[in-house]
Structure 1
Amino acid sequence: MKLLAFAASSSSKSINKQLATYAASLVPNATVEILDINEYEMPLFSQDKEELLGQPEAAKSFFAKLGQADAIIISFAEHNGSYTAAYKNLFDWTSRIDQKLFQNKPMVLLATSPGSGGAQTVLTAATGSAPYFAGDVKASVSIPSFFDNFDSEKQTISNPVILDELKSALAQLS
């Protein structure tokens, strides 16, 4: 299985990138590619920019990466209860290539935050909207209080209950 994983965050210290990378490592027999959405930076989307620029190569490249994968893991950071601006912009540009940007790929959606909410608000939004964009959401998991439940030194979930929930979610990709 070719597995594509990324954090919907542009932070160089993203805890969601740590989570996405770790989660991908738990999928047996997967060839994993970890993307950094910073590599797909584009001007802020608007119809005017689209008329001026057409479809940016970065959006085309991101769409192709999604299409080449057999399954996708996305871990969402939450900014003020919603998507990060970086992810939303990438999503907006890519969805103009094809509204079915997730291309019927099985997906596990994750989210985490330092606080007890675990970025649940953005995860709920992402889980609810993905099917409209041809995302086959198999499971979603919110991990609250990241620094209490993830051992950054060992790069592993330290809470056995959360680890079991994550493994059960990821098992649905195979």
Structure 2
Amino acid sequence: MAAILAFAGSNSSTSINLKLVHHTIALVSGHEIRTLNMVDYPFPMFSEDYERENGYSNSLVELKNDIQNVDALILSVNEHNGNPSAYFKNLLDWLSRVDRKFLESTKVLLMSTSGGKRGGMSSLEVVKNMLPRFGAEVVATFSLPSFNENFDVAKGILDEDLAESHRKALDEFLNAL
């Protein structure tokens, strides 16, 4: 049994990426899963001046410890103008200052979704290339395009081909644990 931490890279109270995370973890059994809502993790914009004057908040250190105490992450990232949100990039900046290899030996299922036809693919690719710098192993990826047409909270992923792609990515991730 693996310990898995699941969250979206969004601090929006209506995050569609968090909805995708909840759907994904509902399909997992036999593992210990803890879900975070990043609305509960507000961080100031990173700057060396702020870091020097204030250090690291308890919530940042606790988040870093939570990440380092699991075997794997299920993460879904949002996209703003073709990149990860400023919130998520800021989160990575802070975490990497506390411990550059905060994801060392952590397996990741990386997902994205958006209301658009590309499903946050640009952000997913940026993050997929960033996470290994911090020690992560991105095991599988999945992007859900046109969230509002392809997802229902009660039914999950509506399109059969997309549902199958999601299941394959999840299976690949779980088989790697």
Normalising by structure 2, report the TM-score. Answer: 0.93
Residue 118 of structure 2 aligns to a residue whose secondary structure is coil
Q: Does 1:24 align with 2:19?
A: no
String of CA shifts for 1:18-50, please: whole Å, max 9, x gaps. 001111221231222110112221211100001
User: Percent identity of the aligned residues?
Assistant: 34
Structure 2 distance, partners of 1:54, 1:132, is 23
Structure 1 residue runs of 5 or longer lacking an equivalent are: none
Aligned-residue CA RMSD in angstroms?
A: 1.2
Match of 1:164 in 2: 164
Equivalent residue runs for 1:37-56 within 5 Å: 37-56=38-57
Q: CA deviation at 1:58?
A: 1.7
Letter in 1 for 2:19: Q
Tell me what 2:58 maps to. Answer: 57
Gaps of 5+ in 2: none
Whole-angstrom CA distance in 2 between matches of 1:124 and 1:98: 23
Name the TM-score, length of structure 1 as normaliser. Answer: 0.94
Amino acid at match of 2:44: P
After TM superposition, list the pairs within 5 Å mapping 1:34-113 onto structure 2. 34-113=35-114
Matches within 5 A, 1:91-170: 91-152=92-153, 154-170=154-170
Structure 1 outlier segments of 4+, above 4 Å: none
Number of residues paired by the alignment? 173
Contact 2:104 2:135 in 1 (8 A): yes
Shift of residue 125 of structure 1?
Answer: 0.5
